[in-house]
Amino acid sequence: MKSFLGQLKISKFEMSLAIKLLFSRRALFGGSAPLALMGLILGVACLIVSMAVMSGFESTLQKAMADVTGHVRLVRTAKPNDDWQVLVDKIKKLEPTLEGATRFASVEAIVAHKGALTGVLIQGVDSEHYSEVLRLQSRLIEGSVDLPGALIGKGLQKKLQLQVGDEFRVVLPVNNGIDPSSFRRQVGTFKVTGVLDLGKYEWNERFILTDLTATQKLAEIGEKYTGLILRFKEITHARDAGFHLSQNLGNDYWIRDWRDANENLFDAVNIERIVIFFVVLIIVIVAAFNVSSTLYINVLQRYNDIAIFKTLGLKSSEVLKIFSFQGLLIGSVGLLGGGILGLILCQLFMWGQTHLGLIPGSVYKVDTIQVQIRGMDLLMISVATLTICFLATLSPARKGSKLNPVEGLKYG
């Protein structure tokens, strides 16, 4: 093993010679070499953009769910009259990383405004504690996030042509208390205090956040509430915390973490990341072998130089190192150029989302993706690119190392 690692070591002389032979008009800047290098740069850039978009989609969806729905939802299936503060204290003892909790109640209703009707989901939260759990300030477009009042999604605002300060009516079917099969109409009025970008298309189109008391009054449920929304110190701990709480609180509570609501979508994203990585990696492989063919021609053109080097005492293993190192150099240049181009393309993608509407929210759940370049993705791209370039240049490197000095001088 030590002897093998020793063979991979390259001296400063060999490195300088490899650089000098590579960055010459006949090598990297001659013939088809620039096109081959450009193909490598484009391949790396495509890898970076595709991974950044997929990572951004996942993180955008994750942040939206954490900001709007909290980390864990605890729904009561029994004990309708229990003290919620006592329950929060119990949860705090079980999970010390709990940062905040708020009561919530959800009802589905119909909004009527200026002759337009649309179905909505009204979620009432405790106005004194909701800011401990939900992060709405960063999603505010206009108005304020103060309750009481109604915070609506930007899609609902556009659909109903509502402005901050406008009032709208909500119609809710309520059981008449005599015949379970019949309902009566309950009408409530809300005032828009803020417009939010909630991060998900369907939320923006039909989500209304308001005060818990107003929701309870509209639904005529008294002091009852649906459950608690919990927030922990780290979102990555939410699943473990939810599992731990379900084990200790028993069957009286139904517990669901932020990921459960879109489990299939997140699983699909993880699978697609892997698939897209290997599909786009084919571009890098093709580009690397185009570089290999260019280096192969370069070796043939360098027969005379290689013969002279060998005549002066350069060993075949040293020639192999020189041309193999050139493959790593080309891979590094491709990585650097592809990284710069990839960053530019990511910025163009962000611009295109804002001005051209590249992401239809009705299809992709979100209409804006904050691209995210992860260190692990860059490491995988770097390792894959350098490895492919190194392997692709082994053939021309071996061809040069096996050259007979006499033949090189004869045909050079």
Output the pLDDT for position 332. Answer: 86
Q: How many domains does the chain have?
A: 2
The answer to the question of residue 18 being in a domain is yes
Distance CA 71, CA 65 (A): 8
The answer to whether the beta carbons of residues 172 and 188 sit under 8 Å apart is yes
The answer to the question of residue 4 being in a domain is no
Together in a domain, 223 and 369? no
Output the pLDDT for position 3. Answer: 44
Together in a domain, 287 and 181? no
The answer to the question of residue 403 being in a domain is yes
Output the pLDDT for position 2. Answer: 43
Together in a domain, 195 and 279? no
The answer to the question of residue 350 being in a domain is yes
Boundary residue ending a domain (196, 225, 257): 257
Report, as ranges of residue numbers, the positions in the chain whose pLDDT lies below 50.
1-6, 411
Q: Find the domain containing 76 and state its range.
A: 71-257
Boundary residue ending a domain (203, 233, 257): 257
The answer to the question of residue 2 being in a domain is no
Together in a domain, 21 and 82? no
The answer to the question of residue 6 being in a domain is no
Tokens of 342: 């990839």
Together in a domain, 23 and 112? no
Together in a domain, 407 and 362? yes
Together in a domain, 274 and 389? yes
Together in a domain, 357 and 309? yes
* Torsion on CA atoms 244, 212, 138, 350, rounded to nearest 10: 80
> Could you tell me which of 371, 370, 365 has the C-alpha nearest to residue 204?
365
Output the pLDDT for position 232. Answer: 92
The answer to the question of residue 5 being in a domain is no
Output the pLDDT for position 377. Answer: 87
Boundary residue ending a domain (257, 289, 310): 257
Together in a domain, 274 and 365? yes
Together in a domain, 377 and 284? yes
Together in a domain, 253 and 364? no
Together in a domain, 272 and 224? no
The answer to the question of residue 93 being in a domain is yes
